A and B are shown apart, each in its own frame.
Chain A
Amino acid sequence: MGSKKKRNKRQQNDKNPHIISNSESSGDNICGENSGQPLEEIPKTGFKILPIEIESISNQNDNLSANPSSSIKHHPLVSIHYCYFKSHDPRINSRDNSTILPAERTLFITNLPVDTTEHHIKHIFEECGIIDRILFHGVLKNNEFLAILEGSRNLLIPGSTAHIVFKDSEGLTNALNMVQKKRIWNIRDQDIPPLGLKRWLQEYQKLRTDPNNIGAQVDEYMRKFEEAEQEKHKALEARRNQPDEDGFILVTGTGKRNINTDGTITVTAVKADVVKNLKPKNKELVDFYRFQMREAKRGKLAELRKKFEDDKRKIADLKAARRFKPY
């Protein structure tokens, strides 16, 4: 595991405050020159602008691996990502319980990078104070057909927001008084779940874990499910034939499915709208009376004319599309 050691070394380098030599000068300007100044603010919003320096990982890896295709020019070496934050304003989301997001020690931050984790936030804000918990809001759903959204380490949608709750109000105050300095994003930590190839391999493997294990989980689920079904059924039974306050009895079915089937052929009742569409048997005689014949003739003529007009219109359309140019 030679590579890991190297990486650790690298990590130490990252923590050193010195600026990485091949970063762009423009980037330095923003983060370096003005150090000591308070963070800029977006006027009239109260949001502070938090620039974070982001370096290309291929920059970092250049010394580590001799990439076969390293001849390709790596373009953006360093860039600045901008987050915006201010203290949490409980009015915005009045339903939030103030115990979950206490106003005096909660920071609201927006435009987070998609790969933000708690570790990243902690890395940026550890100078301000101890962070109690972080609530991410724009978690990318892994599967769009999830019945219930579940939270796990996931990617965030671009420009998403989070609430950061500090242990005490001092943390919030410190955060609001943060000064301009170089802050970097790329941190190495064993605890951060990997991105990229390793992550995908994990996902692939995760789906194919021990069948016995997942089998047991399924059994467990089905047991609970059936219990719940039974409960429901019982509750339904209980309500049956019980008069309510006004003395009415609500008539309910048991919800049992029709089982008029032998496995191949199923017998069910005809549905109302199907019946409606069934054609009545034609018992009438056609063109029996003279007026019927006249009607029919008139109808035929009208149809001819209609078709004529239709065709004319079609031609007009084709002509409009310049379809008659043979060459």
Chain B
Amino acid sequence: MMEYSMYQPPTNEEIQGLKETTDLYKSNLFKFQIDELLSEVSIDFSKTTSLENILHKLKEIFENINDQPDLSITDVKSMLLKKHGIIIPFPDPQPSDDVKYKFGFKKPTAFYLVGSYPLKSVVRSRNGFNVDVVVIMPKDIFQEKDYMNYRYFYKRAYYLAILSATLQDKGLALNVNVEFGALLGDRRCPIILLKPLENNSDALDFTIRILPCIPMDLFSTQRLSPSRNNIRPQHFQDLGQISQQQSVDSLPPTPQYNSAILSDMYCVSHLNLLYKNSKDCLAFNDACKLAKVWLHQRGIGGDEDGWSGFNGFVWKMLMCYLLHGGGVNGGKKLANGYSSYQLIKGTMDFLANHDFIRNPVFMNKLEESEEFSEKSFTENFDVVFVDNSGKLNLFCGMTKTALEQIQHEARIAMEYFNENKADRFEALFLQNVNDIKLRYDNVAKITQIPTSYCNYTKSEKLDYHDPFIHFARTVPIQLKQGLTNRVNLITINYPQLPTWSTSSEPPSYSFSNLKLYIGFIFNPEQSNRLIDYGPSPEDETAASEFRKLWGKKAEVRRFKDGSILECVVWNVKGIEERCLIVSRIVQYLINLHYGIKGKGIQYFTGQLNEIVIPSTNIPKSIYNKNGIANGFRDVMQAYDKLVKQFMALENIPLRFSGIRAASPALRYTSIFIPQPLTLTTTNISHYIDPIEIIIQFEHSARWPDDLVAIQKMKIAFYIRLASELELQFPGTCVTVAADNSDTIISEAYMDILSDSRFTFRCRIHNEREITLLDRGIKDKKSNQLKKDMYTKALEREKRMFVEIPMHTLQIQTLCNKWPSLSLTIRLTKRWFSTHLLSDHVDEEWIECLSSQVYLEPCPWNRPGSGFVGFLRVLKLITSWDWNNEAMIVDLSEENKSSLKNNTYENNEDIKLRFKNLRASGGSCKYGLMFIGTTSGSAWGIDKPCKVVANRIKDLARSALLYADELIEKRENSEFKRLFVTPLSDYDVIIHLDPSQCTRYYQNIFVDTQYLAHNKKNMSSLKIYNIEDDDVVMRDVKMQDHEENLKKEKMAAMIGFDPVEYYLDELRKLYSDVALFFHDKHGGTIIGVVWIPTNFTPRPWKASTEINSILVSKIENLKDQKGSEHDTNSSNLQDQNIVLNTKAVVLEIERLGEGFVTGIEVRK
């Protein structure tokens, strides 16, 4: 049937439909998604009756509004306050009470619906949508010179106050709440906001905004050109003396002020232009809707955006411009026949790549007038995009900083549009990008805005009355001078002024407790640079500028190449501190130039670093902070040296074919930076992490054809290698660990304490084993038991000898490429670990997960700091729909390099594997958080289980919420709390003796008193050791030195962690009964959660595999868990049993004898 319809001759429409999607849209999928999205964000115009009602009533009210007589300022103020309780929203500076002009009111001459609602391009945002109503104020309440000295704005504010008074009186009929707001955050232009009251049952969430405007010919536009000054400095000291016309030309221009008046004049003409274009171009509205969603998701143009000067309206104007021009050689960039996809892509391309600074954009050709020339615009505005009238700069509020940020986002969007290998729709339109903690590599929060600083001159004050605005505009420029190419982007983020009630004083930025966030996106190659080079001191002007920028920090140095330069040097210890240089620069400069320090500025980046450095209180013999100054370099060098030693080893029967790293320490991802053993003492009581490496011999036919025999041969090799290594490289100590049981794959290995004092755990890989295991599985004669054992063994063998070394190489490469990945992984590991999840996820799994935020960073760009990297991993966990999707991690970056088809198949393979895994073993038993790599490895197959997977997600979610709270509200010292796990969900908590935990020094809240204990305690262990040694050593005569070494070797219990043994036993015994949770890195508790099925009574059997108790017996032990079950059947007839939790708890305690200090039963 299906086949038949597939080959049916096509109809014309079908052909066209099929073709269209590929021609006009990116792909079918993209078109479908666009359609779905549009239907989701568009409003239902059939449901707008209540809105229409209100609009009609509004019109009626305004048409019947009474005129007011002309009154003085004190009269209007008191009249409105007394009669209506309204404070007139006069902009700052407030008019003084002795202004001579009168304030009048006459009913509006016209009433228009403007904005996107009448154009039907309205889009729902998080806060509903806006319906804009323009009220044209009559000409005769203004005077010719009202454009000067805020007179227009004062009168406008009065007009608005009268309107709001009327609306408040009639408010009951309208059923709306009346508030004031500032249009685009500009306090000069207050507006009225009408919000339907709660009891309005209509599903639409809208706000009606009333914008007072003036006719286009009210003021002479010449007077309002960008270079004109319309605020006389004297105005605020000596009113009424505006007569010094002769000096006007020398006064500083007030372009922002002028634009604010102009935009009130051209409001209606813009509406007409947009209306015409949306009629001509069919997909115009859809494209606008898409663009608005894109802008919303990036926090541009909404209430949360006080900084950009860009919004949906400007986007539309830009699209209008591109429909008529803006293309190559003066052609059109867009055409009326374009699809919505093509329109948005074309506009985005222009936005991303047009150089607005060098080539200002004019919608129409400019008239030949001096006032509105290109020069006058570019000199007075940062960015220029002049409207169809040729008078108003639509980008008047935009700073260069904001432009850079918008273009940055637009460039990312263009990448997504052009991406062929993955579907980026979600990143483009569906994800919320505007999350301050995830968006930038570093964030500085400024809570004290200075009111005076040297850049804020008197003339600047004229146009920027609010220091907050001026500070926000200028601070990034200052910082950029200091940071130079360390950062790719500096952004400013602050919300628009909040709305205010008509009866309260209007807010201002500086006094409304607003916070300013400065975001930084790093240039990873330069951000950690240690020296900032300045000019030669001979170049006096440049040198003095440099010194002015850096203050006392600037110094003159002679460099290796002989040059003498002004420079700034940043001293650091260790790689963690190196990542903090940018933060130090920012804090230094802000303090130097704006005097903001201490509580006035919070900087978010290094707060988490202490998490991955053992506490400073720890004795140096255990962990020496100085030993980690070089980061991972020392251990890498030690490894290289060892490899060379192996290769140079003589007197061994086979040559080495390869030595491979297989440890987090060798791929920059161990939580703690490994450090050499500095001790000369033989008493080592703390955990020494062995660094896993794999050695492989060249092929030989002499290996036996039997798995057990191969293991024995390996042991023989270990012994031989051990003695040769010790002999040929003095200072090396090797311990062979092997037991002589007959296993098919072995646990044997040798621990090498190399002469560079690092400890390596070395295992031999023999390819023959894998062949033999494979053969054993395929052998028809093998029984199921053997097959299962062989399959398990094969999996382990492959993981240990093939996948982990490959993984190590891949992660190594990625960490070298993106330096902050290392810290991200280490923080993420610590997070999992402190939340007692060490045993429920593999380290490699965490590494893949963390790498994913670097490999697939959308919708942001790649993290540039461990801080943001870590938070993004948490975000990834919360957004990963692991019930339905496998995560595909392209560790080897094959997808990028290989051909398109290949990738697709590769990913399909992983998806198939995931599907099969899910299908096997019942509902959601395997692969809950499945990660497949494109190189064929798979992680997260048998763990975490469902309970744990859910917990991981919950923990990540609350961690993000807490991070929000920290960044928004609190002092920043409490980041450590992200790493404190809630214990309320555990049924039982086993407390371990910290002084017996060899890894206790790694604990996040280490108490050094136990470390002292630790020493004492372990020295008793040592006695125990030596007793054993003596037997061994009696026969073997050794030289003093060697004996010392031997003793050291015996005492250094490499990799000995009693908790690991304990957990291993518990898991083996009770895997059906309980889940165990522990922090591998120094945790001193084990959390236990009973598996609930064990409390369902089941019939007694001779063999049940749980420690059972008859339900009837529980009646006698009322405090036992499970007593709530079956209370009415207490007779002996009842043969049902449940888990005897209390007895199990005691068993658990006995198993941990000498180690468990107490068991807390909580539920």
> Given the interface contacts A207-B739, A225-B712, does A147 sit within 8 Å of B33 by beta carbon?
no
State which of B744, B1028, B1050 has its C-beta within 8 Å of the C-beta of A147.
B744
Cα distance A318–B881 in the bound complex, in angstroms: 11
Cα distance A73–B716 in the bound complex, in angstroms: 51
> Given the interface contacts A40-B1132, A110-B1103, A326-B40, does A73 sit within 8 Å of B742 by beta carbon?
no
| B1073 touching A114, Cβ below 8 Å | no
| B699 touching A324, Cβ below 8 Å | no
| B18 touching A304, Cβ below 8 Å | yes
| B1108 touching A159, Cβ below 8 Å | yes
Residues of B within 8 A of A198 (CB): 1153-1154
| B699 touching A264, Cβ below 8 Å | yes
| B29 touching A110, Cβ below 8 Å | no
Max chain A CB contacts within 10 Å: which of B27, B792, B1135?
B1135
Residues of B within 8 A of A155 (CB): 1065, 1068-1069, 1151
Max chain A CB contacts within 10 Å: which of B700, B884, B1021, B1159?
B1159
| B1058 touching A197, Cβ below 8 Å | yes
Cα distance A157–B1068 in the bound complex, in angstroms: 8
Distance between A284 CB and nearest chain B CB, rounded to angstroms = 22
Residues of B within 8 A of A312 (CB): 28, 32
Contact stretch, chosen from B464-472, B817-825, B1111-1119: B1111-1119
> Given the interface contacts A113-B1147, A114-B1151, does A266 sit within 8 Å of B1069 by beta carbon?
no
State which of A150, A201, A315, A319 has its C-beta within 8 Å of the C-beta of B1021.
A201
> Given the interface contacts A157-B1069, A308-B18, does A324 sit within 8 Å of B33 by beta carbon?
yes
State which of B293, B742, B747 has its C-beta within 8 Å of the C-beta of A148.
B742
Whether a CB of chain B sits under 8 angstroms from the CB of A67 is: yes
Whether a CB of chain B sits under 8 angstroms from the CB of A115 is: yes
Distance between A127 CB and nearest chain B CB, rounded to angstroms = 22
| B41 touching A140, Cβ below 8 Å | no
Within 8 A of B (CB), among A126-162: 138, 140, 142-148, 150, 155, 157-161
State which of A75, A84, A194 has its C-beta within 8 Å of the C-beta of B1160.
A75
| A147 touching B1009, Cβ below 8 Å | no
Whether a CB of chain A sits under 8 angstroms from the CB of B10 is: yes
Cα distance A261–B991 in the bound complex, in angstroms: 58
Distance between B904 CB and nearest chain A CB, rounded to angstroms = 12
Residues of A within 8 A of B1025 (CB): 205
| B793 touching A82, Cβ below 8 Å | no
State which of A29, A115, A264 has its C-beta within 8 Å of the C-beta of B1147.
A115
| A72 touching B1158, Cβ below 8 Å | yes
| B1155 touching A196, Cβ below 8 Å | yes
Chain A: CB-nearest residue to B705: A257
| B743 touching A147, Cβ below 8 Å | yes
Whether a CB of chain B sits under 8 angstroms from the CB of A203 is: yes
Within 8 A of A (CB), among B997-1041: 1009-1010, 1013, 1021, 1024-1025, 1028, 1032
In which size bucket is the chain A interface?
A: 35 or more
Residues of B within 8 A of A143 (CB): 741, 743, 747
Kindly supply a per-residue 1/0 record for chain A positions 99-124, scoring 1 wherever the CB is within 8 Å of any chain B CB and 0 otherwise. Answer: 00000000010110111000000000
Contact stretch, chosen from B257-265, B385-393, B424-432: B424-432
| A263 touching B699, Cβ below 8 Å | yes
| A214 touching B738, Cβ below 8 Å | yes
Residues of A within 8 A of B1109 (CB): 80, 82
State which of A70, A80, A261, A311 has its C-beta within 8 Å of the C-beta of B29.
A311
Whether a CB of chain A sits under 8 angstroms from the CB of B398 is: no
Max chain B CB contacts within 10 Å: which of A69, A155, A203, A222?
A69
Distance between B703 CB and nearest chain A CB, rounded to angstroms = 10
Chain A: CB-nearest residue to B881: A321
| B713 touching A222, Cβ below 8 Å | yes
Residues of B within 8 A of A261 (CB): 699, 701
Whether a CB of chain B sits under 8 angstroms from the CB of A267 is: no
Kindly supply a per-residue 1/0 record for chain B positions 281-305, scoring 1 wherever the CB is within 8 Å of any chain A CB and 0 otherwise. Answer: 0000000000001001100000000
Within 8 A of B (CB), among A48-98: 49, 54-58, 67-70, 72-76, 79-82, 84
Residues of A within 8 A of B1157 (CB): 58, 67-70, 72
User: What are 9 A-B pairs with beta-carbon distances under 8 A?
Assistant: A68-B1009, A114-B1069, A140-B1068, A160-B1105, A195-B1150, A210-B1032, A218-B713, A298-B7, A312-B28
Q: Which residues of A contact B (CB under 8 A)?
A: 26-27, 29-30, 40, 42-45, 47, 49, 54-58, 67-70, 72-76, 79-82, 84, 108, 110-111, 113-115, 138, 140, 142-148, 150, 155, 157-161, 186, 194-201, 203-211, 214-215, 217-219, 221-222, 225, 229, 255, 257, 259, 261, 263-264, 266, 298, 301-302, 304-308, 311-312, 314-315, 318-319, 321, 323-327
Q: In the complex, given contacts A82-B1109, A143-B743, A145-B745, what are 18 additional A-B residue pairs having Cβ atoms less than 8 angstroms apart?
A: A30-B1116, A54-B1143, A56-B1146, A67-B993, A67-B1157, A75-B1158, A79-B1146, A111-B1108, A147-B744, A155-B1068, A194-B1154, A196-B1152, A197-B1058, A211-B736, A263-B698, A318-B36, A323-B430, A324-B40
Q: Which residues of B contact A (CB under 8 A)?
A: 6-7, 10, 18, 21, 27-29, 32-33, 36-37, 40-41, 124-126, 293, 296-297, 426, 429-430, 432, 698-701, 704-709, 712-713, 715-716, 719, 722-723, 735-745, 747, 789, 792-793, 881, 884, 991, 993-996, 1009-1010, 1013, 1021, 1024-1025, 1028, 1032, 1050, 1053, 1056, 1058, 1061-1062, 1065, 1068-1070, 1073, 1100, 1102-1110, 1113, 1116-1119, 1132-1133, 1135, 1140, 1142-1147, 1149-1161
For the complex of A and B, the 9 pairs showing the least CB-CB separation, nearest first, are A196-B1153, A79-B1142, A200-B1061, A197-B1154, A311-B28, A75-B1161, A72-B1158, A207-B737, A302-B6
